[in-house]
A and B are shown apart, each in its own frame.
Chain A
């Protein structure tokens, strides 16, 4: 069963705008990860945030984690056409190798 649930399911923005997507989960986690999937490709790891962290940055990506609300957000700033993809959150439980993936948010960046 899917632990993480992304919101919205789909997002369409203009190039240069920011894109924000959210992930909610149900049980305690060790970490939360975000992955990107371009059409017809495998998933690519973007960023990992640990349960004791609240915010993390990587280039144009900003991830927040609120363990009290069991939620995370991914912000992509100054979006580009190449950011068009599906984005998945995955929760990593404690002492287990299994990740639980959400259904994903499909982001379309219009030129």
Chain B
């Protein structure tokens, strides 16, 4: 199994530009999570999906952030327009629905730098 796949691994962009982060969860996993990690705030849950449906987006910081999951094997996190304070490592994680104890499997992350 390839595990959770994220792309790109690194992204450097200028303030005001649109950024799209991509995630492919582990096949058969029904829950998908987007996290953001910074030194100041630690690991924050942004949004999670269950069976492709957004269940809780209360962690999404602003309207500039949006996430979609058009099918069971793909999700995107978009930031438009990006700002320097969005610089962070963004992780995608997936979890099998059948696992009631919700162990999560993390991708390698996307390191975003907004200049």
* Interface positions of A (Cβ within 8 A of B): 2, 30-31, 33, 35, 41-45, 48, 50, 88, 92, 97-104
Q: In the assembled complex, which residues on chain B have CB atoms less than 8 Å from the CB atom of A31?
A: 101-102
Cβ contact within 8 Å between A43 and B102: no
Cβ-closest chain A residue relative to B43: A101
Check if A97 sits within 8 Å of B101, measured CB to CB: no
B106:A99 contact, CB within 8 angstroms: no
B108 touches A97 (CB 8 A): no
B105 at the interface (CB under 8 A from A): yes
- Closest B residue to A104 by beta carbon equals B42
**Chain B interface main SS type:** strand
A68→B42 CA distance, assembly (Å) = 27
B75 interfacial contact with A, CB 8 Å: no
Interface presence of B50 (CB below 8 A): yes
Contact partners of A97 in chain B: CB under 8 A: 31, 33, 48, 50, 55, 95, 102
Q: Is the CB of B108 within 8 A of A48?
A: no
B107 lies within 8 A of chain A by Cβ: yes
Closest A-chain residue to B9, C-beta based?
Answer: A40
B108's closest neighbor in chain A, by CB?
A42
A contacts with B: majority SS:
strand
- In the bound assembly, the distance between CA atoms of A102 and B41 in angstroms comes to 10
Nearest chain-B residue to A2 (Cβ)?
B42
Residue contact A98 to B45, C-beta cutoff 8 Å:
yes
Residues in A whose Cβ lies below 8 Å from that of B55: 97
Q: How far is the CB of A74 from chain B (nearest CB, A)?
A: 16
CB distance from B44 to the nearest CB of A (A): 8
| Inter-chain contact A45/B50, CB cutoff 8 Å | no
Query: With contacts A42-B108, A97-B48, A97-B95 known, is A103 near B102, CB below 8 A?
Result: no
- Contacts A42-B108, A88-B43 known; A50 to B103 CB distance under 8 Å? no
- In the complex, which of the residues B48, B50, B101, B107 contacts A48, with contact meaning CB atoms closer than 8 Å? B101
User: Of A41, A45, A98, which contacts B105 at CB under 8 A?
Assistant: A45
Residues on the A chain within 8 Å of B25, using CB? none
Mask: chain B, 2-17; 1 = CB below 8 Å from A; 0 = not: 0010000000000000
- Pair B43/A30 contact, Cβ less than 8 Å: no
